[in-house]
Each structure stands twice: as structure tokens, then as C-alpha cells.
């Protein structure tokens, strides 16, 4: 277990990550806020789904998810259609316009990171990706809404894909 001072420094460093998130938000088109980008990203990654599944993946309340979905539907980036298994439910699917926007968002994000991390090696970027993924998984397993407390973290992933709790858009 790390020393208390290391956890304190980690808290300070993670607070500073807000600058990175603000940088990401600045590159998004004004008509596509980060919540909309997250919806598009998750639909592209996991395919068609019900809004309840999307809310789980976003790790936000259904009302927040509904607002995000309404915005992307109004802009023509996704469509809703009846669920064949339950006509009362709707399935969400990316439209070609949504796929095109997501391609643009991905390009913008990639260019921003390439510009700002130009002096990082491939190994450094890979190590950061690995450690951030590990941090996210630790919180998914031990934080609120994660796995059952007391369960070994190796058991946590049973029944979940590695990215079940991905929250970050592009």
C-alpha cells in the first residue's frame, strides 16, 4: 500500500486533470457538448442499445441520459426506433451524420493529444493509458455502484467487459 503522502499527491494531480478535460471540451463543436459526444462514442463502441443501458455506461441518472439523447436525436446524430422485443422500449442507433461527427471528434481529440504530448514517447503514452485504465477499474470495482464490497477485485469483472464502466467521451 502506498504512503499517505502519495495518495495526497494523487488527489492533487487528479484535480489538475480538469485542465485536460477543459481542453477537450474546447475542441468540441459548440453544438456537440461533452455529454452528446459521450453518447455518440458509446453507441459507436457498443452498437445499438436501450437508453437504460446507455445510462449505465454513462454512469449518470436516467434524466441526464434522456436530455443527452434528446439533444443528439434533435441534431440527427442518432435515431430511436421501437425495440422488437418490447414495443414500449426504444433502441438507439447512430445515424450516418452521427458517425461523421464522431469521426471529426476523434480526429480533433487525437490531434489535440498529439500536439500536447509531442515530447512523450509511445511507451509513456501507453503507460499512462494502462495506469488510467487500471485506476478506472479499481473505482468500478470498489467505488459506489461497483462490485459488491469484500469481493476480490479479480471477481469484479465477472459478467462485465473490460470497458463496462467507460465514461469518458472521445
Question: Among residues of the chain, what percentage have pLDDT more than 90?
Answer: 62
**What's the whole-model pTM score?**
0.74
Element (H, E) at 91: strand 86-94
Predicted confidence at residue 67, as pLDDT, reads: 96
**If we measure between CA atoms, which residue out of 158, 151, 165 comes closest to residue 45?**
165
Predicted confidence at residue 154, as pLDDT, reads: 43
The contacts of residue 141 (CB under 8 Å, 6+ apart) are: 147, 151, 153, 156, 157
First-last CA distance in the chain: 33
Chain mean position to CA 19 = 17
Which residues pair with residue 86 across a beta bridge? 83
Pick the residue with more confidence: 1 or 157? Answer: 1
Amino acid at each position: 500500500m502506498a504512503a499517505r503522502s502519495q495518495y495526497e499527491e494523487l488527489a492533487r494531480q487528479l484535480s489538475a486533470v480538469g485542465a485536460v478535460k477543459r481542453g477537450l471540451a474546447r475542441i468540441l463543436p459548440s453544438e456537440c457538448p461533452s455529454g452528446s459526444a459521450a453518447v455518440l462514442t458509446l453507441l459507436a463502441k457498443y452498437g445499438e442499445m436501450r437508453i437504460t443501458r446507455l445510462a449505465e455506461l454513462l454512469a449518470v441518472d436516467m434524466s441526464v441520459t434522456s436530455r443527452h439523447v434528446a439533444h443528439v436525436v434533435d441534431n440527427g446524430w442518432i435515431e430511436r426506433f421501437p425495440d422488437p422485443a418490447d414495443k414500449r422500449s426504444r433502441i438507439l442507433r447512430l445515424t450516418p451524420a452521427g458517425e461523421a461527427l464522431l469521426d471529426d471528434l476523434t480526429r480533433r481529440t487525437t490531434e489535440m493529444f498529439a500536439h500536447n504530448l509531442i515530447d512523450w514517447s509511445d511507451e509513456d503514452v501507453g503507460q499512462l493509458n494502462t495506469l488510467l485504465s487500471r485506476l478506472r477499474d479499481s473505482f468500478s470495482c470498489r467505488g459506489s455502484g461497483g462490485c459488491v464490497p469484500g469481493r476480490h477485485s479479480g471477481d469484479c469483472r465477472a459478467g462485465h467487459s473490460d470497458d463496462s464502466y467507460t465514461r469518458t467521451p472521445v
